[in-house]
């Protein structure tokens, strides 16, 4: 039975959202992709606040793809928040970074990230699967 | 007043060792640096076997900079070995990788590496190594350069520590 819980993508850049969607299609990933555009929305989604109170429409994700560079509340803040929440302590978080910002991954690991993907190269390889990462 | 850390650099490329030493002197950073040229030598150094048994000549390191790609016994195997040594639990290991092999870092992280640096290592990478050292050890700038604000960095602690 395929996993049907969504993957939550926290990404503000439209180009990168497109990249991730396309990579999912190429990898035949069946999980629905829920997209939020910033850190505050990610927290609201996970907390089930506002629009996201409708859990049927916005189920809890099995995995989070988290861009480290976000407007407002940045990826590190979101990660820190996720890891201090008792319900989300072990929720897998894969951070998204660029090759210029690769050193950010060190800090992400310190804050509890499980793994990382490098934009755009890791999404251009159709065999890359966040689930297998 | 913190002491200078003893740093063991596990690096098979002589060129990369030269570059590292040059980066140290360009950044006016000095500390006792010992070099192991492959995985086997790294383990021997840490175990204190053979010539490394002479700890006044080869002191126990406070930090291991570990190249992941080395012949015979590679960096991952060294990490696995370290993980099995009860006495080395507090040795911080910073792995060295290249941008082409950046994904190696994931396995290194799972095997217990503290953090990573991408070669070639820059001066500010060296300064940030202070973040992985215990409080009683610190890299010191021996003589601050006149006009390089990037090099005049105070050690940051806690969440300000990038590595």
Using one digit for the tens of pLDDT, what is the confidence trace for A90-124?
899 999 999 899 999 999 999 999 999 999 988 88
Tell me which residue range forms the domain holding B15. Answer: 7-160
Optimal mutation site among B93, B104, B159, interface A, most CBs of chain A within 10 A? B159
Using pLDDT thresholds of 50, 70 and 90, give the confidence band for residue B140: confident
CB-CB contact of B158 with B131 (8 Å): no
Length of chain A: 133
Which of chain A's residues have a Cβ under 8 Å away from the Cβ of B95?
A: none
CATH of the domain at B106: 3.40.50.2300
Round to whole Å and give the CA distance between A103 and A97.
9
Round to whole Å and give the CA distance between B67 and A40.
39
Optimal mutation site among A103, A108, A122, interface B, most CBs of chain B within 10 A? A103
Which pair of structure tokens corresponds to residue B113? 């590496």
Optimal mutation site among B94, B103, B108, B113, interface A, most CBs of chain A within 10 A? B103
CB-CB contact of B74 with B68 (8 Å): yes
Which pair of structure tokens corresponds to residue B80? 């696995």
- Domains in chain B, number: 1
**A113 CA to centre of own chain:** 11
| Averaged confidence pLDDT in chain B | 89
Question: What sign for the dihedral angle of Cα B110, B116, B118, B120?
Answer: negative
Average pLDDT over residues B97-116: 94
- Would you say residue B147 has pLDDT above 80? no
Label each residue of B83-94 as H, E or C. HCCHHHCCCCEE
What per-residue confidence (pLDDT) applies to B154?
Answer: 43
CATH topology for A7-132 is Rossmann fold (3.40.50)
In chain A, where the domains are located: 7-132
Round to whole Å and give the CA distance between B110 and B131.
20
Which pair of structure tokens corresponds to residue B125? 């990478």
**Looking at the domain assignment, is residue B32 inside a domain?**
yes
Q: What pLDDT, in 10s, does the model give residues B29-88? A: 999 999 999 999 999 999 999 999 999 999 999 999 999 999 999 999 999 999 999 999
* Phi, psi (deg, nearest 5) at residue B21: -65, -35
Length of chain B: 163
Which chain A residues in 71-90 lie under 8 Å from chain B, judged by CB atoms?
A: 76, 80
Which of chain A's residues have a Cβ under 8 Å away from the Cβ of B105?
A: 105, 116
**Looking at the domain assignment, is residue B22 inside a domain?**
yes
**Looking at the domain assignment, is residue B2 inside a domain?**
no
Give every CB contact of residue B14 below 8 A, 6+ residues apart in sequence: none
Question: With an 8 Å Cβ cutoff, is A102 touching chain B?
Answer: yes
Closest by Cβ to B118, choosing from A80, A103, A115? A103
Average pLDDT over residues B139-148: 68
pTM above 0.90, yes or no: no
Q: What pLDDT, in 10s, does the model give residues A69-78? A: 999 999 999 9
- Would you say residue A47 has pLDDT above 60? yes
Which pair of structure tokens corresponds to residue A120? 């755009």
Give every CB contact of residue A8 below 8 A, 6+ residues apart in sequence: A34, A35, A36, A42, A45, A46, A61, A63, A64, A65
Minimal-distance CA residue of chain A relative to B102: A102
Average pLDDT over residues B108-137: 92
How many Å lie between the alpha carbon of A124 and the closest alpha carbon of chain B?
15
Question: With an 8 Å Cβ cutoff, is A116 touching chain B?
Answer: yes
**Looking at the domain assignment, is residue B139 inside a domain?**
yes
Round to whole Å and give the CA distance between B146 and B149.
8
Closest by Cβ to B163, choosing from A106, A115, A133? A106
What per-residue confidence (pLDDT) applies to B153?
Answer: 43
Which of chain B's residues have a Cβ under 8 Å away from the Cβ of A107?
A: 161-163
Which of B96, B79, B90, B82 minimizes the C-alpha distance to B137? B90
Using pLDDT thresholds of 50, 70 and 90, give the confidence band for residue B97: very high
Average pLDDT over residues B141-157: 53
| Averaged confidence pLDDT in chain A | 90
How many Å lie between the alpha carbon of A49 and the closest alpha carbon of chain B?
28
């Amino acid at each position: 039975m395929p996993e049907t819980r969504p993957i939550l993508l926290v990404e503000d850049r439209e180009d990168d959202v497109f990249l991730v969607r396309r990579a999912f299609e190429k990898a035949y990933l069946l999980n629905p992709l829920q997209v939020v555009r910033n850190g505050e929305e990610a927290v609201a989604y996970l907390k089930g606040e506002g629009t996201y109170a409708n859990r049927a429409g916005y189920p809890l994700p099995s995995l989070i793809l988290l861009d480290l560079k976000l407007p407002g509340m940045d990826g590190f803040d979101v990660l820190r928040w996720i890891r201090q929440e008792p319900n989300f302590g072990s929720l897998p978080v894969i951070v998204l970074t660029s090759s210029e910002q690769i050193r950010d991954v060190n800090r992400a690991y310190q804050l509890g990230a499980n793994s990382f993907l490098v934009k755009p190269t890791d999404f251009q390889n159709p065999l890359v699967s966040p689930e297998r990462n | 007043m913190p002491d200078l850390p003893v740093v063991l650099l596990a690096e098979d490329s002589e060129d990369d060792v030269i570059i590292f030493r040059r980066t140290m002197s360009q950044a006016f950073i000095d500390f006792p640096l010992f070099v192991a040229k492959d995985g086997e030598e790294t383990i021997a150094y840490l175990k204190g076997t053979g010539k490394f048994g002479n700890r006044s000549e080869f002191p126990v390191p406070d930090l291991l900079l570990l190249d992941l790609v080395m012949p015979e016994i590679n960096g991952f195997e060294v990490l696995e070995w370290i993980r099995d040594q009860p006495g080395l639990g507090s040795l911080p290991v910073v792995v060295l990788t290249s941008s082409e092999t950046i994904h190696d870092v994931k396995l290194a992280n799972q095997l217990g590496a503290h953090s990573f640096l991408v070669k070639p290592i820059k001066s500010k990478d060296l300064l940030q190594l202070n973040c992985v050292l215990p409080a009683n050890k610190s890299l010191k700038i021996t003589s601050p350069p006149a006009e390089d604000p990037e090099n005049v960095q105070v050690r940051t602690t806690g969440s300000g520590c990038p590595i």
